[in-house]
Chain A
Amino acid sequence: MNSYQTFSAHVRDNSPVALVTVIEGPHIGATMVVTPSGIVGGSLGNADIDRIVARDALGELEAGRTLVRHYGPHGESTPEDLIDTETVRIFIESFSPPPLMWIFGAVDFTAALARVAKVLGYHVTVCDAREVFATRRRFPMADEVKVTWPTPMFAENGHRLSSRDAVCILTHDPKFDVPAIEGALATTVGYIGVMGSRKTHAKRLERMSEVGITSAADLARVHSPIGLDLGGRTPEETAISIVGEIIATRTGRNSSPLGTSDGAIH
């Protein structure tokens, strides 16, 4: 296998991989492929620079960052070592597995949300305890459909969720959504949204406090009613408002129209 085949096999398997390329300096165009288990293909020209850049690439990969870094010809990276030496510019490109979205509740809104989430590149899991509703046939766009309750789902898989991921609870059923909220709060997931009217949410807050979910920090993580205030009604419009809120939560923006604000767009 050449480096390209090794690299593309990792990308296709959704396993983390960094593609490292000399974009300026000797050996321009030289490429190396780095995974958490080390260098798996190619070279940047010599063993010293390979070793040092592979270490740095692994750090960038863990953070999911893509950027250019500067070195000396043998991987020198401290400023004093770089004086009077040729600079090698290296492009480190991180390919991380897709973010996860877990959707609880196999309802019409679920299908629309799963479709929109796929557009954004999420790996989507639909989860419902009712076997007749949680079927592949109803959710062909989802990557996984699981017939299970929230508590075992989080106990078995909650450790896989991180700040890039989202949990959307669309059940409207307290015996399903309160355990799902509890499970999600026990993880480091970046977004937790729960569907329901303001009235439903007020009732749910009572049930949440009965199981001990009362801290301001926990309550601030739970977005409910779910989504941005776009005034939409259909499952598809609702799905857009939900993913809009997920993006705004990640970027820390207040999601007002750009036309009414100023400052940098990106």
Chain B
Amino acid sequence: MRELLTDIDRWQSDGKRVAIARVVDIEGSGPRGAGAAMAVNQDGEVSGSVSGGCVESAVVSEALAILSGEQQSRVVTFGYSDDEAFAVGLTCGGIIHLFIQPLEW
């Protein structure tokens, strides 16, 4: 999160809405641990990362859905299995749990 502050401040001062996605838990092998974070603004601009590039684009879609009100803040899980709603996974085979919310606090 530390590395996102400059971008978030700039976006907020431009009047942009921002969502943040944070890794809250990892099961098995994962590229980034709990606390890895990325921020997405309403235009789809991105700061930071939450994995080695495996799930970022899916996180952007989810963050935009939350900013537009189509989705509520929630925990999103990637890497369960191909049967899950999210077809993306981690190449390392781990499971990553992210909490995504609008930055409204």
Contact = CB atoms under 8 A, between A and B. Distances in A.
Contacts of A265: 29
Interface string B15-33: 0000000101100011001
B5 interface: yes
Contacts of A4: 8, 103, 105
A91 interface: yes
Contact of B105 (A23, A31, A91, A93): A31
Query: What band does the interface of chain B fall in when counting residues whose beta carbon is under 8 Å from A?
Result: 20 to 34
A93 B22 contact: yes
Contact of B34 (A11, A21, A66, A95): A66
Given A21-B101, A23-B24, A28-B72, A95 B1 contact: yes
A24 B75 contact: yes
A11 B6 CA distance: 12
B105 A2 contact: yes
A42 B105 contact: yes
A264 B104 CA distance: 38
Interface string A89-113: 1010111000000000000000000
Contacts of B74: 28
B94 to A, nearest CB: 9
B73 A29 contact: yes
A145 interface: no
Contacts of A3: 105
Most buried by A among B2, B22, B24: B24
Contact of A11 (B5, B33, B73): B5
A109 B73 CA distance: 49
B57 to A, nearest CB: 22
Most buried by A among B29, B30, B75, B105: B105
B38 to A, nearest CB: 14
B80 interface: no
B19 to A, nearest CB: 11
Interface string A62-106: 000011100000000000000000000101011100000000000
A28 B105 contact: no
A264 B9 CA distance: 39
A99 to B, nearest CB: 14
Interface in A19-70: 19, 21, 23-24, 28-31, 42, 66-68
Given A8-B9, A93-B1, A94-B35, 16 more contacts: A4-B103, A11-B2, A12-B5, A19-B1, A21-B22, A23-B75, A28-B72, A31-B105, A66-B34, A66-B35, A89-B75, A91-B22, A91-B99, A265-B29, A266-B29, A266-B30
Interface of A: 2-4, 8, 11-12, 19, 21, 23-24, 28-31, 42, 66-68, 89, 91, 93-95, 264-266
Q: Which 6 A-B pairs have the closest CB atoms?
A: A31-B105, A29-B73, A66-B35, A23-B99, A3-B105, A66-B34
7 contacts: A4-B105, A12-B5, A24-B75, A28-B74, A66-B35, A89-B75, A265-B29
